Amino acid sequence: MSTRVVVDPVTRIEGHLRVEAMLNDQNVIGDALSSGTMWRGIELIVQGRDPREVWAFAERICGVCTTIHALASVRSVENALKIDIPRNASIIRHLMNFTQIVQDHVIHFYHLHALDWVDVVSALKADPAATSALAQKVSPHWPKSSLGYYSDTLATLKKFVDSGQLGIFQNAYWGHPAYKLPPEANLMAVAHYLEALQWQKEIAKIHTIFGGKNPHPNYLVGGVACAINMVDDNAPINMERLNFVKDKITEAIAIVDQLYIPDLAAIASFYPEWTQIGGGLGNFMSYGDMPTDYNLESTSKFRFPRGVVLNKNLNEVQQLDLTDFSQVQEEVTHSWYEYGDGKKKLHPWEGQTKAKYSGPKPPYKQLDENQGYSWVKTPRWKGHSVEVGPLARMVIGYAAGNTAIKDVVNWGLGATKLPATALFSTLGRTFARGLETKLAAQWMLEEFNNLIANLKAGDSVTANTKNWEPSSWPAEAKGVGFVEAPRGALGHWIKIKDKKTESYQIVVPSTWNASPKDAEGKHGAYEAALIGTKMADGTKPVEILRTIHSFDPCLACATHVMGEDGETLAKIVVR
C-alpha cells in the first residue's frame, strides 16, 4: 500500500512548487510529481511591444535571476536583427553573468541548501574552542576562526532561541535522524551562513556599477547601457569604479576558495550515502555560453560547451540546435495549458501560452498525476527528458574535453577521493555547483583583465547603434537568445513583425527540470531524481528537500493574481 507525502510549498526556493511523493511499504519513493502552482504571463504582456524594451519586462519574471533574463532577451533581439555588439559590451555582459553565478551559487549553498544538512539547534551544544579548532582545520586561510568569534556566534544563536523565535531558522526539522553533523560542525556552518549573508550584497555591487542597480540592472539592445571614460571623475565607469570591481572580484575568489569549497567538502564528508541517491535522468543538456572570442556563433570556443549527454555517456556529446524545430519542443499533456489546432508539441517559435486550468479546486489534498497537474510546461530535446544546470555544464564540459572543466572536476574528485560516478547524485549535483563557482570566480578575473587590456588599447565603445532605428529592420524577423543561467539552459525566442513583438516564448531552466511527465510518461528531472529515495520519516521529508534543493529551483515569480475578469484578488501592503 502506498502513502502519499505532500510538500507544499517547497520553501527556500524562488517561486511556488508543490511535490507529491508516493512511498511504498519500505518507505521508498516509487513515484513522484512536481507541480508548479503559479502561472506566468510575461509572454503575453510583451506581445505588441517594441522589441528594444522587452528585456525590461522579461527580467521581471524573477527577482533572483533578473540580469539573466534581460541578457537572454537582448540577445534574442540582436540575433533577429543581426546586430553585432562591441567587444567591451560582451566582456561586461560576461562579468555580470559570472557575478550572478557566483553570488547565486554561494547563496544557494549557505542559505537555501545547507539547512538540509546542518542542524542549527544542535549547534547550541557546540564547544566554541573545538569549533575554532575545526574551522582552522577546514578553512586554514579564513581569518575568522578564533575562540572568541565562535563564542560570540554561539551567544547570538542562543539569543534567538531564548527569545522564543528562531527567526530565519524557524520551522525546520531540527533533530531529524537524517542530520549527521556534530555540534561543532553545525556551529561553524551557522557562522559561515551569517558571513555569506553579509557578503552577498557586496558582490551585487558589480551589477550596480555596470547596470545601474540590482535587482533589475539596465541592459541595451546593441551593447550595454554604461559609458566608459578612464579619466573623467564623473563618468559612469572610470578607473576608480573599475578598481572597485576588481576588489569585489578578489573578495569573491576568497569567499569561494577559502569558505564555500572547504565547507562543502567538510559537510559532504558526513553524507557519503548521498553520492548514491538522487541521480535521476542521467541525461544532461547545456546551451553553451561565454565565448572566449565574444562571438556567440563560435560554439567551439564557449567556456561552457554546448551539447547533450545521454545515459551518462561521457564518450559522446550530441549536437544541439536551438533553431531546429525537431529538437527543442514543448508539450502540455500534463500541464494546465492548451494548444490550438490539436497541436501536441511546439517549438518555441511556434509556441502558445493559453492557460487552461483543469486541476482540482484549491485547497486540495492531492493532484491526479494522470491528468494535468502543473503550470510548468514539458520541454523535451528530441523527445528526451534532460537535466540542466551546473551538473549538466560540468558533465558536458568534461565529456567535450574542455580543459578548465576537466581540471577542476578531476581536482575536486581527487580532493574528496570520490569516483566520477558520484557526480550523478544529489550530493554530486551540489558538488558540481561548487566546482563551477570556483571556475566562474577565476573567469571573472580573466574577463576583468580582458576589459582593462581592451580599454588600454584605446577601445572604450560599449554600444552599437547601427540598427537601433526600426526603419532599418526587415518587415519580419525572428531570433533566439540563449544564456547559461545559474540554474541552467535559458532560452528566449522572439518573432518580430511590423516593428513590434509578434510572439515571445521563454523556456527557463526550471521548466526543463521541474517539468511534469510527457505524453509517453517520461518524468522530468525533479521527479526522476526523487524516485528510489528511502525516507526515514514520511512526516518530515528532509530527503525530498535535499534532492529538490540540489537543483536550486527557481520557478516564475513577480506575477499578479487576478480573477477571470481581471480584478485583483489580493493586495498586500508592507509597512
Q: Do residues 23 and 3 touch, judged by C-beta distance below 8 A?
A: yes
Task: Examine the residue annotation and report whether 12 is marked as an active-site residue of this protein.
Answer: no
Q: Is 510 known to be catalytic? A: yes
* Catalytic residue of the set 76, 503, 510, 515: 510
Active site residue 554: yes
Q: Is 226 a catalytic residue?
A: no
- Tell me how far apart the alpha carbons of residues 212 and 205 are, in angstroms, rounded to a whole number: 9
Indicate the residue type of 51. Answer: P
- Tell me the residue length of the chain: 575
Cis amide leading into 217 (omega within 30): no
Is 14 part of the annotated catalytic residue set? Answer: yes
> Does 65 participate in catalysis according to the annotation?
yes
Q: Which residue pairs from 558-567 have beta carbons closer than 8 angstroms and sit at least 24 positions apart in sequence? A: 558/60, 558/61, 558/62, 558/63, 559/38, 559/39, 559/40, 559/41
Q: Which three cell numbers stand for residue 542?
A: 528532509
H or E element, residue 30? strand 29-36
- At 62, give phi and psi (nearest 5°): -140, 145
Four-point Cα dihedral 165, 171, 172, 173, nearest 10: 100
Q: Is 40 a catalytic residue?
A: no
Who contacts 18 (Cβ-Cβ below 8 Å, separation ≥6)? Answer: 6, 7, 8, 9, 10, 34, 35, 36, 37, 367
Q: Which of 62, 73, 122, 184 is catalytic?
A: 62
Give the Cα separation of 534 and 527 in Å (integer): 14
- Active-site annotation holder among 14, 20, 43, 436: 14
> 188: exposed, middle or buried (C-beta count within 10 Å: 0-12, 13-18, 19+)?
buried
- The answer to whether 492 and 72 have CB atoms below 8 angstroms apart is yes
Q: For residues 57 and 49, is the Cβ–Cβ distance under 8 A?
A: yes
* Catalytic pick among 487, 523, 546, 549: 487
Which listed residue (34, 393, 543, 554) is catalytic? 554
Catalytic one of 65, 216, 523, 550:
65
Q: DSSP labels for 287-332?
A: --EEETTS-TT-GGGEEE--EEE-TT-TT--B---TT-TTTEEEE-
DSSP state of 9: S
d(CA 120, CA 181): 10
Residue 536: what residue type? A
The one catalytic residue in 69, 108, 393, 549 is 69
Determine whether 241 is an active site residue.
no
Which positions are annotated as active-site residues?
14, 62, 65, 69, 487, 510, 554, 557
